[in-house]
Amino acid sequence: MKSRKLWKWAFLLAIGFSLFFGGKSQSVQAASKGELKIGMEANYPPYNWTQSTKAHGAVPIDGSKQFANGYDVQIAKIIGKKLHRKVVVEKTEWDGLLPALTSGKIDLIIAGMSPTAQRKKAINFSAPYRKSTFVVIVNKNSKYANAKTVNDFKGAKITAQQGTLHYGLIKQLKGAHREPAMRDFPSMRESLSAGTIDGYVAEDLEYISYKRVNPNIKEVVLKGQNGFHYPASDGETSIGVKKGNDQLLAQVNQILSGISNAKRNQLMKAAIVQQPQTETKTQNWFVTIMKTYGSMILSGVGMTLLLALVGTIVGFVIGLLVGIVRTIPTPTARFKRWGLKFVKWLLSVYVEIFRGTPMMVQAAVIYYGIAQLWHLNLNRTVAALIIVSINTGAYLAEVIRGGIISTPTGQFEAASALGMTHSQKMWHIILPQAIRNCLPSITNEFIVNIKDTSVLSIISVSELFFVGTTIASQTFEFFQTYFIISLIYLILTFSITRIFNWIEKRLEGPQNYNLMANQVQTVAPKLSKEVSHD
């Protein structure tokens, strides 16, 4: 009875969380009318970055309490003002920008993106709003700092951002070792500082931005060197527009034509000055980070726990139902037999698909795919809850099925001898034992969910890891930030393990429980009284 009450309250809690965030999703979508949704990383200064306040004309980031600013943001504000629409930034990973635009989740990509020939096949681009040149950023004391030609990088470990044209340019550096591409510029900055790479290819503005926080770097300009070639459009920065939205593209081009070069240069100079700077280390780094970004970290912890808790509970319910159906005995009637086989086959396909593919891929397919195929714009939190739940359900379905199968056959035979139906046997005899035996695996799945929610950064869910990445990109204190994040993960998993260990002991009952002894102690006094009266 205690275990039933426990699961009942947990299930009600999950429903409450879902209803709360479901209502929040509707309100967010309703409020999106009249907004101009801009997709960007908010992690690429001076083009764009994340900050904690709305200082210097920053705009809100959708789904968070943070703000975005930078050259791209200021260009977006000019466009939004002319279109009489409020600018809202959709903070999105670089690889998610194109899917977000083609699926209709954002209106424009303004993220320092170049209109390459490959990208033009997927989306349209505006006239350029910025032009730049390509450089290799190296440490000032590096042997490659004085490189004069593309042949002077022999043996150098060079990288660039994943999904950008910069990575392809490394092939023109003769003899250079092309290291695996990295996900963002903060990661490359940290790698260069740590010495794990010798340099990375970027635009000249990245050098100007990085030079302000790290004077020990140098740029090697690639333009004009013999053997180095690239299309002129690759050095331009344009705004991405969804194909078919010709009216918006024409409006954007008209607005851009009205922004003078002097105004653009003024905006860029201001962005370079206002970009995030490394904190002055006047006190302990732990105290500094927690004092400045404590509220952001707590919100990330809350989102991580929400996703893990609701995902595990709903996933348990899904796994329980699937596990029960997959262990139903084969009926004798032909129609029922074939119907049950078909249902079991469908459930097997579900289990195999969601156990055999990474959650990150599932998140991208579900979040962007649903919007692209059925034009259903899910709130990213609701989408994350669905993804974690169905993924967990696939794993727990096999766990619970194994728990049911491992129950001694004598239990089934005894229940059958008492005249119980299959449903009665499952709910009153088999499942209570199977669930109790599966509790360690359920605990493990909960812990895995706490850690694996980090992959949901692909759809820009502001969970703990995503928040940590944002903080690291603003402070340039990568080791310190990720050390704090890892410590929080450890505290969460340790606490959850101890809570479930306590629940498991409660479900086991007293260790020395003796039914006959209890009956004798209860019945004996009554018999003695009856004898004395006689």
Q: How many whole angstroms separate alpha carbon 304 and alpha carbon 302?
A: 5
- If phi > 0 it is left, if psi is from -120 to 50 it is alpha, else beta; for residue 130 that is beta
Residues 450-474: pLDDT tens digits? Answer: 999 988 888 888 899 988 888 887 7
- Cα-Cα end-to-end distance for the chain: 40
Q: How many whole angstroms separate alpha carbon 424 and alpha carbon 415?
A: 9
In the chain, helix, strand, coil percent, each to 5?
65, 10, 25
What mean pLDDT do residues 327-347 have? 87
Specify the pTM.
0.74
Query: Quick one: what percent of the chain has pLDDT higher than 70?
Result: 87
Cα distances (angstroms) measured from residue 398 to each of 312, 373, 466: 14, 31, 31
What mean pLDDT do residues 397-411 have? 87
Cβ burial of 321 (10 Å; 0-12, 13-18, 19+) is: middle
136 - beta bridge partners? 201, 220
C-beta of residue 166 within 8 angstroms of C-beta of residue 202:
yes
C-beta of residue 126 within 8 angstroms of C-beta of residue 241:
yes
Please give the helix or strand (H or E) that residue 507 lies within, else none. Answer: helix 478-508
C-beta of residue 386 within 8 angstroms of C-beta of residue 461:
no
Domains of the chain: 35-128+237-274 (3.40.190.10), 134-222 (3.40.190.10), 304-460+499-517 (1.10.3720.10)
Please give the helix or strand (H or E) that residue 139 lies within, else none. Answer: strand 134-139
Question: Of 1 and 450, which is predicted with more confidence?
Answer: 450
Residue 58 pLDDT level (bands cut at 50, 70, 90): very high
Whether the per-residue pLDDT at 231 is higher than 60: the answer is: yes
Q: What is the pLDDT of residue 235?
A: 86
Whether the per-residue pLDDT at 526 is higher than 70: the answer is: no
* DSSP annotation string for 195-226: TSSSEEEEEHHHHHHHHHH-TTEEEEE-TT-T
